[in-house]
């Protein structure tokens, strides 16, 4: 993570629809933690989240917040200023930070792909962040279909099954459809997601179903990201969000990148990128805004 001011504790909360992610930095020490979504943000929830790591809201000069429902919070809670950061900015700035980039015009542009319940894609150029595209396919899609296909919504179980399975147990490969490779795609590349199930009533194992499900979700996100980056003439793609916590998803994204000669950068702890982006952007705002602190 790139450095921020060490004068006081900084913290940021990303209120997602599935998870609430928090990052904090105190005297050079980073902390990050996640809570499952329970209810819409309010003062009690903010204080409880910070208390998970013994952080007193009253000791913060300001708190950065982002996520779809962060605007429900007031401008102040007690003596602490609440700085709202729009989600596109937080995603873009967080992706830059994960890539080791500052929010300056001399840095190369990046496409930040935020894989959460759905997937948002943000073009980050200096300190300008624009919505490039997105898809409703994401972690929520995977969990919803996993409930139907696998009888579980535990991402750890889904990931373990997927790593043990073969997606072509449920999918049709190019070899099944055209007897060989097409262009740069190998013969075992997916031709039809879940196509084998349409051809045959034969039972498919849970690991193969999980592998096919993860493959479909990862391929949709990866292909759309490559197309969006090329359309905007952006060379670097940074994938963030808790979907990348799953090694099976990372493997699919990497394979899509190889097929199309495009690197998918998958940083460590990328699930906290949006919260980090909110923290960094809020600090930059605070430095420009007299009286942002107490």
Q: What is the pLDDT of residues 182-206, one digit of tens each?
A: 888 999 999 999 999 999 888 999 9
Q: How many CB atoms lie within 10 A of CB 172?
A: 18
Q: What structural domains and CATH numbers belong to the chain? A: 10-92+272-288 (3.30.420.40), 135-266 (3.30.420.40)
Q: Would you list the DSSP string of 228-252?
A: HHHHTT--EEEEESGGGGSHHHHHH
Whether the model clears a pTM of 0.75, i.e. scores above it, the answer is: yes
Distance CA 158, CA 155 (A): 5
Tokens of 6: 């060490």
Residue 209 has pLDDT above 60, yes or no: yes
Do the bridges between strand 80-84 and strand 76-77 make them parallel or antiparallel, or are there none, so unpaired?
antiparallel
pLDDT tens, position by position, 229-267: 999 999 999 999 999 999 999 999 999 999 999 999 999
């Amino acid at each position: 993570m790139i450095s921020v001011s060490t004068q006081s504790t900084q913290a940021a909360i990303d209120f997602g629809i599935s998870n609430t992610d928090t990052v904090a930095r105190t005297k050079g020490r980073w902390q990050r933690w996640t809570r499952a979504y329970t209810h819409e943000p309010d003062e009690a929830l903010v204080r409880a989240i910070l208390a998970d790591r013994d952080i007193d809201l009253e000791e913060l000069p300001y708190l950065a917040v982002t996520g779809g429902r962060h605007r429900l919070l007031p401008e102040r809670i007690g003596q602490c200023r609440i700085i709202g950061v729009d989600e596109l900015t937080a995603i873009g700035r967080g992706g830059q930070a994960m890539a080791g980039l500052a929010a300056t015009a001399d840095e190369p542009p990046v496409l930040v792909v935020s894989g959460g319940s759905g997937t948002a894609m943000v073009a980050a150029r200096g300190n300008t962040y624009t919505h490039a595209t997105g898809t409703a396919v994401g972690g929520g899609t995977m969990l919803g279909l996993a409930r139907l296909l696998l009888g579980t919504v535990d991402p750890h179980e889904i990931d373990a099954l997927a790593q043990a399975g073969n997606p072509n147990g449920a999918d049709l490969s190019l070899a099944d459809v055209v007897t060989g490779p097409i262009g740069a795609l190998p013969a075992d590349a997916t031709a039809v997601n879940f196509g084998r199930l349409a051809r045959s009533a034969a039972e498919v194992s849970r690991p193969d179903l999980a592998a096919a499900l993860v493959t479909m979700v990862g391929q949709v996100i990866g292909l759309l990201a490559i197309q969006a980056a090329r359309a905007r003439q952006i060379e670097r793609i940074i994938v963030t969000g808790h979907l990348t916590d799953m090694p099976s998803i990372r493997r699919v994204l990497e394979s899509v990148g190889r097929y199309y000669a495009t690197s998918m950068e998958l940083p460590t702890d990328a699930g906290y990128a949006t919260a980090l982006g909110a923290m960094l952007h809020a600090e930059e705002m605070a430095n420009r805004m007299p009286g942002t602190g107490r």
